[in-house]
């Protein structure tokens, strides 16, 4: 029997949400295709998954390049003997940086939008077409507090994330009747991962216990969304630590 499979876009550091999601799906018996910008990081993750008894491979792809995205989907959805076509697609690509509005350049604004929103469109369009052919499957987009509200010095991030949220809503309404579950997850708080530790080490030292979101806990939620019965699908949910103000 061929193994079911999933594909996770936006995989970077080992202790990050993309990597945690890949490990979670692999633990459920899925072959996981991990996609990111650094082949070295992808190889390290796939080896870790394989050593833990799972199954994975990695692809370095620019999610803002339509041709590269199309080529990857053609490869992943070509029938194989050992691995089924992905039935779970996660779009986790994106980055964040504080840039005062008057210092923000048009190039920076566009770059954040291209990864945070355009890439979601390119991946979402291909994924929806393939999953509609299968008649089932899940597409999950990673959102943020900025999906709902813009804050000073983060206009570029908010514009990208708000656009991604509207993309997910429109896709859910169009492809839900075709059996495709499209979900958007708002991460409303800091993620306890490698990036936060590198950029804001003092924040973690002074935080309450469980004051930042566990990457494993978020990955658990992603898996539960995929396993939801179609009579009770979630289109959007928000996740935040118990101590987070909102």
Residue pair 158/149 in contact (Cβ under 8 Å)? The answer is: yes
Mean pLDDT to the nearest integer, 176-181: 98
Give the pLDDT score at 79. 76
Domains and CATH numbers, the chain: 3-239 (3.40.50.720)
Residue pair 211/241 in contact (Cβ under 8 Å)? The answer is: yes
Residue pair 90/60 in contact (Cβ under 8 Å)? The answer is: no
Two tokens, residue 246:
């909102």
Mean pLDDT to the nearest integer, 36-42: 96
The pLDDT tens digits for 133-171 are 999 999 999 999 999 999 999 999 999 999 999 999 999
pTM of the model: 0.95
Q: Is the pLDDT confidence value at 204 over 70?
A: no
Give the pLDDT score at 95. 86
Q: Is the pLDDT confidence value at 222 over 80?
A: yes
Picking from 140, 136, 132, the residue whose alpha carbon sits closest to that of residue 89 is 140
Picking from 67, 70, 43, 180, the residue whose alpha carbon sits closest to that of residue 126 is 70
Two tokens, residue 141:
């987009």
Which has the minimum average pLDDT: 32-36, 42-46, 62-66, 205-209? 205-209
Two tokens, residue 209:
């216990």
């Amino acid at each position: 029997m061929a193994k079911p499979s999933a594909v996770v876009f936006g995989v970077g550091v080992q202790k990050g949400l993309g990597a945690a999601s890949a490990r979670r799906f692999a633990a459920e018996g899925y072959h996981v295709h991990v996609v990111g910008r650094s082949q070295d990081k992808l190889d390290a993750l796939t080896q870790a998954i394989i050593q833990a008894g799972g199954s994975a491979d990695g692809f370095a792809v620019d999610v803002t390049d339509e041709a590269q995205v199309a080529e990857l989907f053609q490869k992943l959805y070509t029938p194989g003997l050992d691995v089924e076509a992905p039935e779970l697609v996660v779009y986790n690509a994106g980055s964040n940086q504080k840039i005062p509005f008057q210092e923000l350049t048009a190039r920076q604004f566009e770059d954040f939008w291209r990864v945070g929103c355009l890439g979601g469109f390119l991946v979402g369009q291909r994924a929806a077409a393939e999953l509609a052919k299968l008649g089932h499957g899940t597409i999950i987009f990673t959102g943020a507090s900025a999906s709902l509200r813009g804050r000073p010095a983060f206009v570029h991030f908010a514009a990208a994330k708000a656009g991604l949220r509207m993309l997910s809503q429109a896709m859910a309404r169009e492809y839900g009747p075709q059996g495709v579950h499209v979900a958007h997850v708002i991460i409303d708080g800091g993620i306890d991962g490698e990036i936060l530790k590198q950029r804001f080490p003092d924040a973690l030292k002074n935080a309450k216990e469980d004051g930042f979101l566990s990457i494993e806990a978020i990955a658990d939620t992603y898996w539960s969304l995929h396993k939801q019965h179609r009579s009770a699908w979630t289109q959007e949910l928000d996740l935040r630590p118990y101590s987070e103000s909102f």
